[in-house]
């Protein structure tokens, strides 16, 4: 090939390379729209994520002002156990109020959407009471209210075992038994028993209520209640025997530190062989399914929350006396109308009486309680869930308050 021809070939090759290098490639219109849509989607995702982080920051910045708390007209009994001194905690009454207010949720609370009582066609109330939550006080209040509001009361006898781990047939049998006790138009029944869905037996679903308490404080209370003389005497009448001396002298703190089985609270531990262990209150809301049996598991607590949201009208706590009474009165007026006045009735009122006070229970050190709380994470999750639900119900009927 000659020199001129070679030069001409290279020039043509360079021209072709330049044409590809600087050419403008037209993009289809749909591709442009797709790119724009992706850009908008990414922007929206970042906005939502930033907004969520902002809400979390507001939650962390919630502060309780004591002067504002006095406007509620409540005592400070809403702070209990490990929350004492942590007034900015979202799980306190005031902390919940400030969080709802700061996130704009307070003004959207509507009692119509927080009340399950309206879904019931018959006035049947079932208090499937959790042990050591102050249930005797509520039963006494219900007995007094029964005379005033004209409804029948009944409760299971002391000798009846706690209703846990029932089979499907046993649940059906108990549901029919409870409804057969009803003699009047309105009927309230109390028993230590796990939640039962009456609908699965084509029976009217009762209005469920219950009480909760700080999980660790409740367990300690149960431990020493079992060792009281009056409980031991009652159990002797049923079983015909007393426990050995070691049982009554066993120290709770030593029991925890030695990892004694009675004081073990390990994740996933199954207490089915001891139906009266009462180590977790979420079991009374979860039900009788095998899913509910292991201790402190997320799946059991998730089921308990689901049942609470769907079927429990009110879950109160004597740690928040006035809040509980106000919500019971407003959400279940057929049974609890006038309960606050009756509770605080001069001299005769339950506010001036102490029931089931255990003077045999010693003070437990905070060190032991901290050790226990580490194993009660899901139980505290459920406990706080119930308390915050109670607070939302209260604020929905008292939105005029400016705390």
Catalytic residues: 192
CA atoms within 13 A on the CB side of 59: 12
Give the residue among 152, 154, 285, 150 at the shortest CA–CA distance from 215: 285
Q: In Å, how far are 24, 165, 228, 239, 242 from 234, measured between CA atoms?
A: 94, 23, 10, 9, 10
């Amino acid at each position: 090939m000659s020199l001129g021809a070679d030069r001409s070939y290279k020039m043509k090759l360079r021209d072709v390379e330049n044409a590809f290098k600087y050419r403008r490639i037209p993009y289809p219109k749909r591709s442009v729209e797709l790119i724009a849509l992706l850009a908008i989607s990414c922007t929206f995702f970042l906005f939502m994520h930033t907004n969520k982080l902002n809400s979390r920051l507001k939650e962390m910045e919630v502060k309780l002002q004591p002067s504002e708390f006095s406007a509620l007209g409540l005592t400070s009994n809403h702070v209990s156990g490990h929350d004492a001194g942590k007034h900015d905690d979202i799980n306190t009454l005031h902390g919940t109020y400030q969080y709802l207010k700061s996130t704009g949720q307070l003004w959207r609370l509507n009692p119509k959407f927080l009340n399950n009582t309206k879904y019931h066609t018959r006035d049947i109330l079932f208090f499937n009471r959790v042990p050591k939550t102050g249930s005797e006080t509520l039963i006494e209040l219900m007995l007094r209210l029964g005379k005033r509001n004209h409804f029948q009361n009944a409760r299971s006898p002391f000798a009846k075992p706690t209703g846990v781990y029932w089979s499907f047939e046993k649940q059906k049998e108990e549901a029919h038994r409870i409804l057969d006790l009803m003699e009047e138009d309105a009927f309230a029944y109390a028993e230590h028993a796990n939640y039962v869905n009456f609908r699965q037996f084509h029976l009217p679903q009762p209005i469920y209520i219950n009480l909760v308490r700080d999980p660790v404080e409740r367990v300690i209370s149960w431990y020493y209640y079992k060792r009281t003389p009056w409980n031991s005497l009652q159990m002797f009448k049923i079983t015909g025997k007393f426990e050995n001396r070691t049982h009554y002298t066993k120290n709770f703190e030593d029991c925890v530190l030695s990892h004694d089985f009675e004081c073990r609270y390990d994740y996933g531990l199954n207490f089915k062989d001891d139906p009266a262990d009462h180590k977790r209150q979420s079991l009374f809301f979860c039900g009788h399914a095998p899913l509910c049996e292991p201790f402190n598991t997320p799946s059991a607590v998730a089921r308990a929350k689901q049942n609470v949201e769907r079927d429990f009208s009110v879950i109160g706590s004597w740690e928040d006396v006035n809040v509980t009474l106000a919500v019971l009165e407003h959400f279940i007026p057929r049974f609890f109308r006038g309960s606050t006045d009756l509770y605080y009735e001069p001299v005769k009122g339950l506010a001036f009486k102490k029931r089931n006070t255990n003077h045999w229970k010693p003070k437990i050190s905070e060190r032991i309680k901290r050790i226990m709380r580490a194993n009660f994470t899901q139980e505290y999750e459920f406990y706080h869930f119930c308390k915050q639900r109670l607070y939302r119900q209260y604020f929905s009927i008292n939105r005029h308050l400016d705390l």
